[in-house]
Structures are given as structure tokens and as C-alpha cells.
Chain A
Amino acid sequence: MKVTFPHMGHIWLCVKTMLEYLGVDLVIPPPSSKRTLALGVRYGPEFACLPLKLNLGNFIEASALGADTILMAGGCGPCRFGYYAQVEHAILQDLGYRYELVVLEPPERHVGQLLSRIKVITGNNSWRQVYRGVKLGYQKIRAVDELEMAIHRLRPRETIPGSADRAFLEALREIERASDLAELAVAQRQVKEILKSVPTEERDVLRIGIVGEIFTLLEPFANLDIERRLGRMGVEVDRSIYLSEWVNDHMLFGLIKGLRSRRDACRAALPYLRHFVGGHGQETVGSTILYARAGYDGVIQLLPFTCMPEIVAQSILPVVSADLDIPVLTLTFDEQTGEAGVVTRLEAFVDLLERRRRGRGRVRQEGTESKRGLRVTKA
């Protein structure tokens, strides 16, 4: 059995850690690329959302590397994701790929159903071992999230272009290498050193909150690396969903305290959207409100084309934007999305935010302008 799974940001690092800890053979699909997308577009349903197409491409590419079992999460709607695995599997079957499918569905009757599905993958490992593997995986993903947050702060302040990104890759390798909790602790100290070595200067930077659908938020290939682009344009970004927070909210029932929780966002959304709408629709509205309250300069909503929960949110955001006086830009992604179009709109948006700030007389350092502006480097 060689297990594979779809890409979504750095989730591969978490799954790889867990499965390797348990001695399960795995194939990490090649990072999502134009080829992955082209495969997904060719064989996937035309109107399916972008994540499904990328998943499909991942599985086809992983099959070439010997994968024979798919590990996927399930769901009970109303977002389409809950039915992804079954549709993808049907397509792969028709294409002649012989994949075993293991879907971790929320249990319908009792928790035993979920446990037995996990057992298919974990085999003879004891539950104690499984627990340890999951714990290590979770700690790693938390470490990666904290690293990303640090990089979001460093990027707009680096004095040597690209140094923050180089540090990120180096730090990521440190975290990846750790094979137990003790090593991870050492790695995290190492990461701190690496981050400290990035030369920065204090600047008055714009702050943008990025909200939207989880896959598009977390997968840089899907969102054309928007965080890095904004960072290099001199913007400090924050993302409304980090993987560890999502895992804590949805799989650990909020067991780990002190993390930002979706509950706050949903509560904030209530005056505008009184009911959950699946996916992250309510979180998107709520997070926008929270960013406005926290004094962010703007918010960018990301969604895959035809994403249902995000379209509900998108319909409501203009009112939130007007009420709380915070500019909101919505970017929709699919296989037709062109880099130039996205870059142009990002530049215009950043320009607008800068003008607003200047209008309010909050920009004090004169030197910052030229450093921000329209300096866009190819990612």
C-alpha cells in the first residue's frame, strides 16, 4: 500500500510526518503545477471548483509515482468538498486508475466508523502510536503556521529583497527534518535564529487581511502566491485561516486553548449573515469585520470560481465594507485566471489603500513610499 493525498498548502508536511511516524508508505504528489491543473481541467467536470481539479491532477501525477491508495477527508455538506472524494474516484476509475479510496468521513452513527477507516491506513500500529503520530503532525503544522506568521511580518520589512523567503525555505527544512517532539523543539529554536538573521528595518507598512475559502487561502499555487506578492509590495498580510487553527476547530473540538477560533468570526458576522452557510462563508464575513475593527487597511477575499459559500459572503461584503469603511477586493480563481490580471488589481488595490492612509495623514515616514509603490518582482 502506497498512500497519497491531495496538496493544500503545507498540509503535506503534517500528513508526511504522521504517516512516516507510523511506518506507512506514502507518495507525496509533485507540487501543484500548471501540468497538474491541465490534467484536472481535462478530466474534471467543467463547472467543478478549482480545488477538485487540482486534487484530480495530484492523484494522476501521484499514480505515476506508484501511489495506489488515496487518503481524503470527507464532509457532510453543504459545501461540495464533502462529495469530492467520490466524484474524483469515479473519474479516476473511468480513466483506468486503480485507486483504493479511504475517506475520513465524520462518523454517521458512532465514532467506531471513523476509527475503523483510520485503521485501514495505520494498520498494526497501536492507538497510542497513532495518537503520538497525530500529535507530532499537529505540532509541526503549528510550527509551520507560526513560521508563516513571522514571515508575513518580515517580508515587507526586509532590506535585502528575497531574504525573508530564503529564510522561510531554510526554516521549513528544519521543521520537516524533526522526527520527534524533542527534535522539533530544537528545530524551533533553530528557526528563531534563522528568522533573526533576516536584515530588516522598521517601516510603516500597510496591513491587509486575507479571507475566503480555505483551499485557495492555503495553496499558493491556487492563489498565485498572493501572500508573497503582497509582501514584496510592502504589505504585511494576515490570513483568516491557518491550518492548525482549522484542525483545532474542526478535528480537536477546540481542545487546544489560546488559538484564534472560528467562533469569534462567526459571532462577529451575525449582524450581516445570521446563519452558517457551509464552507467558510460566515467566517469570511466575520473575519472581514474583525480585521476592520483591528485597524487593518484593507481586506482581500479569495475564492475559487463558483464557490457557493463564498458567493453568499461576496454578496454581503460590499455592505460590510461600506458600514465599517474598509476597502474589500474580491479575487476569483480558476484555470482561466491570468497572473497579469491579478497583479494589476493587487497593485491598484495597494495604491488605493496607500492613498487612503495618506489622506488620513497617518503616514509619517516619507521614505516608505518609494519602497512600497509598484515594485513587483516575479515570484
Chain B
Amino acid sequence: MSRKVGIPGALLYYYYFPLWQAFFQALGAEVAVSGPSTKSVLNRGVELAVEDACLPVKLALGHVAELAGKVDYLFLPRLVSVASREYICPKFLGFPDMVRQTVPDLPPIIDVNVNLYRRQNKLYTAFRAAGKIFSAGEARIFLAYRRGLAALGKYWKLMGEGFSPEEAINLLNRSSPRCPQPSNAARTIPEDGPAAASDKAPRPEREKPVVAVIGHPYNIYDPYISMNLLKKLRQAGVRTATAEQLPETVVRREAAYLPKRLFWTLNQRMTGAAFYFLRSGRVQGLLQVTSFGCGPDSMTGELIARRAAGHGDMPFLNLVLDEHSGEAGVLTRLEAFLDMVRQKQEGGRPG
């Protein structure tokens, strides 16, 4: 009987799930994902977490609790660093331990260290350690790892084309890889990127204003946590652009305008993307989504807000989410923001 590996549908699930899934499946394991996020998942997480923890961590604990007892292993890699001389955030470093000390009835946890802080460190080290648990041979582990990387490459390509993580994962898991239209249709790829898809879009679509949504992937792509933000924006008649559509080279080039290199990978992407969108003039509004109590966001959010203020008439909204966020309040602010966006597009000055 194949063993079941549980992967919480939270945190960096949105960046790496295809890699993890393909890897474990190639080793003959079954992969179970928790989710989607619901009120009860979040409530469970809030019960387990310390009060001061941030929203994504609380939600992730809820996802873990949902898997506990239903799977043979929990895959919670310790994501120390995914890029040279960068970290993610202290809570990612401590997450497996936080889980171990707070969630009851846990199966064995696979908490291999992913640490690429030093340039000579290899990603394969982590996967080799994880593969050993399934008593697979060296060659089989390596092949599984390569298969995982290939899946991840395809996944990021799809996201670059404007598919949301959910759509991209569905596409990958369905073997016929053709899907109607990416939902993030607003292509804002720079001059040196592939040809902008928005130019191919039907005419009325092209005339819609574009709003850049800047935030951690686990906040903006989780429909429950973001209260369907991306969908709401599209229904309101705007196109959305996110950091995940931009190539790594672009976000890093833009983030280099900061006075000091950021040591948080995710925030580097967010900040670089925000700077790019502001500078390129291809967006008509900037919507920043942060979660209450997020440390890195409190710093880069400030830098992004200051940069946006420097672009005088750029509509800017900072949306702070927590477990008490009410949908009505968010809607009101969103409507006001969209009014400004439309005014800007029509050429008038907002406000």
C-alpha cells in the first residue's frame, strides 16, 4: 500500500506544490492536500496558534490540523532560505517546530531543511533526505527530483502567462495542457519579456484598467483569506497583474533600486514588482495586501507606499487582512479605490 504524504495548502504551497507533488508521486507515494481554506480551518488555526502570530501562520496551522490523523507523513520542509543570502521569514524557519509543539495527533513530520543561503548549498540535499524516508535508491530519488523540477518549471511558466496558482495546478494535473484563458489576463511583461498577451486580447478587454495586486502569494491567491479579491476585481471590470507574472530577472532588477538589498525573498519579489508596475506606467492602480502582524510587510509596505506616493496620482490602497476582517469593510474600500482607478484611466485626477 502506498504511503500518504500530507501537504498543507498554505504558505509556500503556492510557489512549490507542483515540485513537491511530482517528487513524492514519482517515489510512489500518494499526495494529499488540505483545503481549501474555510472559516473552520482558520478557526482551528486560531485556536492552536499564539494570539500574536500572523494570519498566514494561523491559517497554516489550521491546514496542518486538518491533515493530522489522515496521512502517514506530513511534509513541512523548513524553508530557511530559497535564494543565496536571503531568508523567507523567521516564522518559516520555525514553522515545523511550532507545529510540533502546538498541533495534537501528528504523524511523523518530514521537516528537511531547505537552505540555499550559501551559494554552494544544493537544493537536492533536502530532497535526498526526504527521499531516504521512502527507502528509495539514490537514482530513483534523483529522477523524482528532476521530475519535480520539470513540473515546477511548467508551473511557473503558466503563472508567467497569467494563470493563477489554482488554475496552473489544475492544468498540470490534467494531462491535456490547454485551458481557455488565464484569469490574470493583464500582461504587463516588460520590453525584454515575451510579447504582451494583452495586445492579443479582444478589444474591450484591452480597454479595461489594470490594477497591480501586491502581496504574499498565500494571501492574495487564497480565495478565503483574500475574500476572493482577484475575482472581485475582475468582476468589477478591471484586469489584475501580480508579481508572479514577472520574470525573476525583472523583479530583482527593480528591487535593486532599494538602498540595501532585501534579505526576504518574498518581499523582494513584491517590492521589485511594485516598483516595476509603478515605473512602467502600465497599471492604473496599486493594491497592496498585507496581513496583520506581518513583520517584513511592515517594512517593505512602508517603502512601497512611499514610492507610490512619489507617483503623485497613482491610486493606492493598502489592505490589511486579519481573522477579524469583515467583508463589508473591504468592499467599501475596494469600491472607493476602483473609483479612483477609473478616474485615472479617464484622464481625470483622482480624489
Contacts and interface: CB of A to CB of B under 8 A. Distances in A.
Interface of A: 45-49, 74, 76-80, 82-83, 85-87, 89-91, 94, 103, 105, 108, 272-279, 281, 303, 305-309, 311-316, 318-319, 332
Interface in B287-310: 290, 292-299, 301-303, 306
Interface in B53-101: 53-54, 78, 80, 85-91, 93-94, 96-98, 101
21 contacts: A47-B297, A78-B90, A78-B93, A78-B263, A78-B264, A79-B90, A83-B260, A87-B302, A94-B306, A277-B93, A305-B293, A306-B52, A306-B54, A306-B295, A308-B91, A308-B295, A311-B54, A312-B97, A314-B52, A316-B98, A318-B101
B351 interface: no
A332 B78 CA distance: 27
Contacts of A308: 89-91, 295
B33 interface: no
Contacts of B303: 87, 90
Contacts of B80: 275
Contacts of A312: 90-91, 93-94, 97-98
Contacts of B195: none
B121 to A, nearest CB: 14
B102 interface: yes
A281 B302 contact: no
B112 to A, nearest CB: 11
B90 A277 contact: yes
Interface string B294-333: 1111110111001000000000000010000000000000
Contact of B94 (A87, A90, A103, A277): A277
Interface residues of B, number: 43
Contacts of A77: 86-87, 263-264
B93 A83 contact: no
A45 B301 contact: yes
A315 B259 contact: no
A83 B262 contact: yes
Contacts of B320: 47
Looking at A103, A278, A312, A316, the one whose CB has the most chain B CB atoms below 10 A away is: A312
Contacts of A303: 52
Contact of A45 (B78, B101, B259, B298): B298
Contacts of B263: 76-78, 82-83
Q: Which 10 A-B pairs have the closest CB atoms?
A: A77-B263, A312-B94, A78-B87, A47-B298, A308-B90, A45-B302, A277-B94, A278-B90, A308-B295, A277-B93
B87 to A, nearest CB: 4
A48 B87 contact: no
A278 B298 CA distance: 17
B102 A315 contact: yes
Contacts of A82: 263
Given A90-B303, A306-B295, 20 more contacts: A45-B298, A45-B299, A49-B295, A49-B298, A76-B263, A78-B87, A78-B93, A83-B260, A90-B306, A91-B302, A103-B260, A105-B260, A274-B97, A274-B111, A277-B94, A308-B89, A308-B295, A311-B52, A312-B97, A315-B53
A89 B259 contact: yes
A86 B299 CA distance: 10
Interface string B250-286: 0000000011101110000000000000000000000
A275 B96 CA distance: 10
A76 B49 CA distance: 28
A189 B290 CA distance: 55
Contacts, number: 130
A278 B293 contact: no
Contact of B101 (A309, A315, A332): A315
B47 to A, nearest CB: 13
B91 A311 contact: yes
Nearest to B291: A47
A164 B88 CA distance: 46
B113 interface: yes
Contacts of A319: 101
A272 B297 CA distance: 28
Given A87-B302, A308-B91, A47 B294 contact: yes
A281 B299 CA distance: 20
Contacts of A281: 90, 94
B50 interface: yes
Contacts of A83: 260, 262-263, 299
A195 B293 CA distance: 44
B94 A273 contact: yes
A332 B52 contact: yes
Given A306-B52, A315-B50, A315-B102, A48 B90 contact: no
A74 B263 CA distance: 12
A83 B301 CA distance: 13
Nearest to A79: B90
Contacts of A273: 94, 97
A311 B51 CA distance: 9
B295 A86 contact: no
A306 B90 contact: no
A314 B301 CA distance: 25
A76 B83 CA distance: 13
A46 B295 CA distance: 11
Contacts of A306: 52, 54, 293-295, 298
A79 to B, nearest CB: 7
Contacts of B101: 272, 315-316, 318-319
A66 to B, nearest CB: 25
Contacts of A276: 93
Contacts of A311: 50, 52-54, 90-91
A87 B299 contact: yes
Nearest to B97: A273
A318 B51 CA distance: 13
A309 B52 CA distance: 12
Contacts of A313: 94
B87 A278 contact: yes
Contacts of B94: 273, 275, 277, 281, 309, 312-313, 315-316
A303 B102 CA distance: 20
A357 B292 CA distance: 40
A274 B76 CA distance: 14
B52 A78 contact: no
Contacts of A309: 90, 94
A126 B59 CA distance: 56
